[in-house]
Amino acid sequence: MAQVIILIVVTLGFLTGNAVAGNFGCFLGGLLTFVASLLVIDLTTAGRSTEGFLLRHRGSLVEFVAVIAGIIIGQHFYNGLLGILGGIAAGIFSGQWLTNRLGWGGESFELEVGVRVAYLAILHSLATTGTGASERERNELWLAAKRLFLNLGYTADNDVTLLLAQAEAGAASIDMPNFVAALPRDWQCRLLLDAMRIVYSSPTVAAEKRNFIETLFTWTNIADRSLLSLYDRSATNGPDMRNLWLEELGLPPSATPQDIEKAYRQLALEYHPDRLTDLHLPPHMAELAQAKMAAVNAAYAGLKGRSAHSEGLRFRPEVGEDPFLAVDGQAFQCRCWLCDRTNRVPAQADLATVRCGECHALLGVNHGALNGT
CB 87 within 8 A of CB 76: no
- Which of 164-168, 173-177, 280-284 is predicted least confidently? 280-284
Higher pLDDT, 115 or 31: 115
- Exposure string for 245-272, b = 16+ CB within 10 A, e = fewer: bbebbebeeebeeeebeebbeebbeebe
**Residue 252: its pLDDT value, please?**
87
Mean pLDDT over residues 90-117, rounded? 89
Q: How far is CA 237 from the centre of its chain?
A: 27
Q: Give the best-scoring range by mean pLDDT among 33-37, 216-220, 267-271, 362-366.
A: 216-220
**Residue 238: its pLDDT value, please?**
55
- Which of 82-96, 159-173, 192-206, 304-318 is predicted least confidently? 304-318
**Residue 170: its pLDDT value, please?**
92
Residues 63 and 43: their CA atoms lie apart, in Å, by 22
Cβ–Cβ contacts within 10 Å for residue 177, how many? 13
Helix 2-44 and helix 53-77, axial crossing angle in degrees, nearest 10: 150
Strand partners, 365: 314
Please indicate, yes or no, whether the overall pTM of this predicted structure exceeds 0.75.
no
Strand partners, 366: 313
Distance of CA 306 to CAs 32, 73, 205, 221, 262, Å? 63, 69, 28, 24, 17
Q: What is the pLDDT of residues 20-54, one digit of tens each?
A: 777 677 778 888 888 888 888 888 877 788 888 88
Mean pLDDT over residues 351-373, rounded? 74
**Residue 122: its pLDDT value, please?**
97
Q: What is the pLDDT of residues 207-250, one digit of tens each?
A: 899 889 989 999 999 877 778 888 887 665 555 667 778 888 88
> Is it the case that residue 184 has pLDDT exceeding 70?
yes
Give the confidence band of 3 by pLDDT, cuts at 50, 70, 90: low
